[in-house]
Amino acid sequence: MSGFYSAGHLTGPQEPARPDGLYGVSKVAVEALGRLYADKFDLSVICLRIGSFELMPTEPRHLATWLSPRDAVGYIRAALTRPPSTRFVTAYAVSANTRRFWKLPDASELAYVPVDNAEAHAADIPGDFPTDPTGVQAGLYAEPEFTLKHLRS
């Protein structure tokens, strides 16, 4: 939900959502629904913004966005065991990737520190990681054609 922030910007969940496509827009809507239920019905809602959930990173962008299975379990466990007094938290669920685009959650928000790093797999990933810090985090997903092809079906 941060696709239009620059790749050189470490984005936090409190910044305005900038989805790069229709899927991202739907995630923003679901977070808003979670906020409504937290505020209106006093429910505890934890929104995890899940990165690229894969066994291993397989493309250059994953060096920033990868979420390992082990870290996914850690984030989910932390979200499920938050005190019921927690009303609403949004956190990026991403591994401890050296090149990540997103801020890791503070311990006060979510008591989990990721352990895996996509950098350990960098030599096995074909292609080059985009190095332009002024380019957008979404890369090609931010291009108009990426969204338009889904609307033409």
Instruction: Return the active site residues.
Output: 23
- Who's near 112: CB < 8 A, 6+ residues apart? 71, 74, 75, 77, 78, 105
Residue 6, classed as helix, strand or coil, is: strand
35: exposed, middle or buried (Cβ count in 10 Å: 0-12, 13-18, 19+): middle
- Who's near 8: CB < 8 A, 6+ residues apart? 133, 134
